[in-house]
Amino acid sequence: MNYNFSEDLKSIREILGLSQSALAEKVGVEQVTVSRNELGKTEPSAKLLESVYAFAFAKNIKINKLKEMLWREDLTQNEKLLFHGAKSEITGKIDVRRGRQNNDFGQGFYTGESYEQAISFVSGFDNSSVYYIRFTDTDLKCKRYKVDQEWMMTIAYYRGVLDEYRDHPIIKKLIEQSRECDYIIAPIADNRMFQIINSFINGELTDEQCKHCLAATNLGMQYIFISENAVSRLELIERCYISDNEREYYKNVRLEESRLGDDKVKLARKQYRGKGRYIDEILL
């Protein structure tokens, strides 16, 4: 899927109140280049893409956020707008078997609820982009999780740190329940959160401490599609270009949120010390 550059170019010009000639001068090209790209008569070069989107973002025009708002307004009752951050691009059809086995909930196609959430996970990759996806939620079985013991232990299993307990009845039931559905809605657990879960698995934290530490680092919810039936309800509707300055902006946003989250975790560890049960008490 290509970027919707011709429409974005016209939108940026309109918001700034610039003529084709004026915008061309700002981004260092000829007026005819702007004209041909707006008409879709030519494929934009990598240099032109970066120049235009970086110029817009520097002018505080967050075109991708604006498009998110517009797409949401067009949703019907059974539709959701979801987002997938890709390190490069999606080629071919969405395939649930392409995902890694050691993701939060194993193999599947992972999406998030907002543009900002999606870009925060791929802002460190030079060729990354964000896809907008329309999801029609009808006649599908959904498994929902919240920040609790079930969620923590399920993620720990799929991330490979519960191997010694894999035959325990509690763990076998958790995994069985996680696959008896078409898709999953669950809190996101990034690597920083997984370190907290790992501390619980290693007996350094109780389940209560772990739960509150994880809640302090809330990253929003993720949708994981694990059946072919669920994936068939997904439609890629737009691919968004991320300029270097936008990438840098969101890297800094995530860094600041990480610092705040780390401080909250320290307080949660202290406040809930001695409360709850350790892993070996749960899996007797």
Q: Name the pTM for this structure.
A: 0.89
Ordered alpha helix ranges (H), the chain:
5-16, 20-27, 31-38, 46-58, 63-73, 115-122, 149-158, 169-179, 191-201, 207-215, 228-231, 244-271, 279-282
Given a contact cutoff of 8 angstroms between Cβ atoms, the answer to whether 27 and 48 are in contact is yes
- The whole-angstrom separation of Cα 152 and Cα 283 is 14
| The pLDDT value given to residue 63 | 95
pLDDT by residue (tens digit) across 216-243? Answer: 666 789 999 999 999 999 999 999 999 9
The CATH topology of domain 1-61 is: 434 Repressor (Amino-terminal Domain) (1.10.260)
DSSP β-ladder status, 142-144 and 183-187: parallel
pLDDT by residue (tens digit) across 69-88? Answer: 999 999 988 899 999 999 88
Which parts of the chain register pLDDT below 50?
none
Domain extents in the chain: 1-61, 81-282
